[in-house]
C-alpha cells in the first residue's frame, strides 16, 4: 500500500512505482519485503492500493480512504548497502487494465462515496 510516512524516497509515477520495502532490524529482509522478493522470482503481480495519506502533491492520491489501482509486476529491486536489508522495488502496471481512477468522471472516490463514508464514520464513533 502506498501511503505517507515511510521516510524513504518512494516515487509514484502512476504506471511505474519505485517503492522502498521496510527496513529490517537485522540483515534479514522483513516479511513484507520477502513477499516482494518472492514476487520477482515467481513473476506474480501485486495489488496496489493508494492511500489519501500520500503527499497532497501526488496526482494519483485519492481524496479520502484507500483506492485499489490495479495489478503491478515487480520487475526488479536494488538493495541498500546498509545492514537493515532495505530494498527499493520497481513496480510496473500490468497492461490491459482500466486507467487509474484519479481524474475526470471515473475518479474515485466520487462525491457521493465520500458523503457515504463520512456518514458511516459518524455512526461508528463511540
Q: For the whole model, what pTM was predicted? A: 0.83
pLDDT averaged over consecutive 10-residue blocks of the chain (126 residues)? Answer: 62 94 84 93 96 92 92 92 82 96 90 90 81
- Write down the pLDDT at residue 117: 86
**Rounded to whole angstroms, how far apart are CA atoms 5 and 54?**
8
**Rounded to whole angstroms, how far apart are CA atoms 67 and 80?**
30
Residue closest to 47 by CA, chosen among 17, 22, 72, 76: 72
- Write down the pLDDT at residue 84: 77
**Rounded to whole angstroms, how far apart are CA atoms 124 and 53?**
21
- Write down the pLDDT at residue 13: 95
- Write down the pLDDT at residue 65: 87
Amino acid at each position: 500500500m502506498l501511503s505517507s510516512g515511510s521516510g524513504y524516497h518512494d516515487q509514484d509515477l502512476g504506471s511505474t512505482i519505485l517503492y522502498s520495502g521496510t527496513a529490517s532490524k537485522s540483515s534479514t529482509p522483513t516479511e513484507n519485503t520477502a513477499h516482494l522478493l518472492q514476487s520477482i522470482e515467481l513473476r506474480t503481480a501485486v495489488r496496489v492500493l493508494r492511500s489519501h495519506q500520500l503527499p497532497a502533491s501526488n496526482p494519483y492520491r485519492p481524496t479520502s480512504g484507500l483506492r485499489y489501482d490495479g495489478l503491478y509486476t515487480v520487475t526488479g529491486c536494488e538493495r541498500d548497502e546498509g545492514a537493515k536489508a532495505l530494498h527499493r522495488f520497481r513496480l510496473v502496471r500490468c497492461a490491459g487494465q482500466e486507467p487509474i481512477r484519479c481524474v475526470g468522471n471515473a475518479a474515485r472516490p466520487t462525491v457521493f462515496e465520500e458523503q457515504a463514508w463520512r456518514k458511516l464514520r459518524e455512526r461508528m464513533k463511540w
